[in-house]
Structure 1
């Protein structure tokens, strides 16, 4: 069995690393399975891509489609054209896509049109918000997927409601958590730690990149001001997504506690997250990591495709109204934030379960 594994954007790299590791273990044990790694080039900045390959021990891709840049449509088209040529030149038994980025959807479409089966890792998650490009990517991908690997039973239920049969759904857990648990002992202290004299539990980590929060300058300024005003004397460490950096340049926000820095590598970023008082974010994946690390998390979104981080984990959904920030920080500083727990099968063995399932499919 030859599997084409697709990775294109920063969240993908954390998800494919354990799968590749499990495939290589299976190969060393004489199993008839192999893979070809395809980097679509959707994230082409080194900090958003190259560093992750190095830090997570992901091998050099067999092909890089260099499809980064442009609008959603331009990027989708470039990925599809590039991957069609790749897959025709190197036929696979299964194309394995992960997550919900443009590369996920584009490569799934190409595979099905070339009559190659598709396996989707992190299938079935839903926010219900069609204004998010990720939600469209999820819906399209899952509508043409053959095999569904899910992070939770909720995701499986979402698929069953759309008519997917049980025998095509594999509840395996979360590969992002495999990566987190494997690398937790080797997180790297970033330079900003000593530069600012940071101490555990005495700073906030922030990430913002979603259009609903950053595209409207007035809204972004108001959100940042509320965080600054209500975070007491804590340092605010804000690794800035390239998309957000362009917008921030014109806002003129300055505060001695607000530190806007370049994007960090995986090991450096999670060093900060693990020791933070709280994380304020609009990312879905980070809410999963904070849940496992037991770190309070405030999500500035009106919905989430990862409800288990709220019902089980340490995450709270604040919405996008800046007025929700003050009461959340008051709750945090009173020591009333929930402790949270860890969802089922988020145990570091998801990659192995995925490969076991793939091997059974070829029998």
Structure 2
């Protein structure tokens, strides 16, 4: 027992926090993903909807969470630079625990919409974990550390849909919400008692205005380019979220297996990413994160194009596994490039801007995906994602020289 305690709490501050925050990110990933792959099916159980109504309502409810996150993230980011990242971690984990648990008791889509909006207002655990680790981690270890931290969320996201699928299949959607809220409360307790941060509170007068802060960034083109990349990544990923389980339902003849296959399809990218992300992190430290970023964008373009031509569930599962390769390259590389081009005193705000761009993409994605699915069919959403990824390639090409020099 003492050896396990020394392993978990031993080492330098950044090493101890990495282990604890990895576990917190893991639990957050489970909590966030237990129900989300089946949310459209849960919405369908709250009333009688036509195909277009279900697609539209699913898109609105998915997008509402990220719309609120986009609105409040700059405020939380400024507060994090003023008060520290640990208070933001506590705020996020407790707020998510309460709102998700209450979703188990909704009886209408309007109640669910309000709670999803509150969930977005309290979000930010992962972004603040990244910001905290980006500050305290030695530069030569940043790729490996942030890559490893990203696997925590991915591992939870991987396990969550599978566990959620089994819970829903044997109990109900509401039981999954209750379990998710309980998991997030455990994350709250771990954060309160075990996460440590050396931070000196700053007065409001000591916080640089946004304009002055941006002047201190040595490579603003890179930061802006990475923020745009983040938005497109979320837009493509979230555009298929409202229709993924509905698309699976089209491909699976056995209705009792829909939630199981939906969980497998949703978690497939994580199965790959959990192993590949740390490898890409270390490789990026050696050959340049900009090269890893290009690999991720290119792979995602090919895979989403192929997904548009799938005709059975096994093709979807296999291609979703390859999405894990692109995800393993994209998310950590963007975060690492941002951390290396951001002054310490502005880290909280820059990563909050990154979360805002994530949220903007996550708002546009579900709405666009739902509109396309309602007007055409589910496969057309994958082709929409391809168009978005092409814009990401253009953005990469525009910033290539700056990224290469910076590396």
More helix per residue: 1 or 2? Answer: 2
Q: What's the TM-score, normalizing by structure 1?
A: 0.25
Q: What's the TM-score, normalizing by structure 2?
A: 0.23
Higher relative contact order (CA 8 A, sep 6+): 2
